[in-house]
Amino acid sequence: MSEETKPEGASPTPKGDEGRRSMGPFDHPWFLPGLLYGFAIWFGYDGWLNPNIKSVAFNRVMAPLWLAGAIYYTVQNLRDRRRTRERAESPPPSQTD
């Protein structure tokens, strides 16, 4: 938002923060894998350990699917974290004209 279009009384944007947006709890990289692991545990319990449920077959199919998704996104997060760390540790390329 440019300074001219901001409502009256709004605080000025600090320089360098114009492209950033605040990170909410759902934007955390480990939120989705944690949620999927939770679903896998829930469906696994209902599919194999809970005798009072009628949809046993559905839960037995979905538990491994949730677990596969959770493992996939965990691996992706670990790879992204490693890439970010390597990029931060590597020296910037020299610029020669």
Rounded to whole angstroms, the Cα distance separating 14 from 58 reads 52
Output phi, psi for 45, to 5 deg: -60, -50
Over range 83-93, report the average pLDDT.
85
Give the tens place of pLDDT for each residue, 40-85.
999 999 999 998 999 999 999 999 999 999 999 999 999 999 999 9
Token pair 């491994």 in the structure block, residue: 64
Task: Label residue 71 exposed, middle or buried (CB < 10 Å: 0-12, 13-18, 19+).
Answer: middle
Grade residue 15 by pLDDT with cuts at 50, 70 and 90.
low
In percent, the amount of the chain with pLDDT more than 70 equals 76
Grade residue 5 by pLDDT with cuts at 50, 70 and 90.
low
Taking the C-alpha atoms of 6, 11, 12 and 16 in order, what is their torsion angle to the nearest 10 degrees? -110
Grade residue 1 by pLDDT with cuts at 50, 70 and 90.
very low
Q: Where are the domains of the chain?
A: 27-85
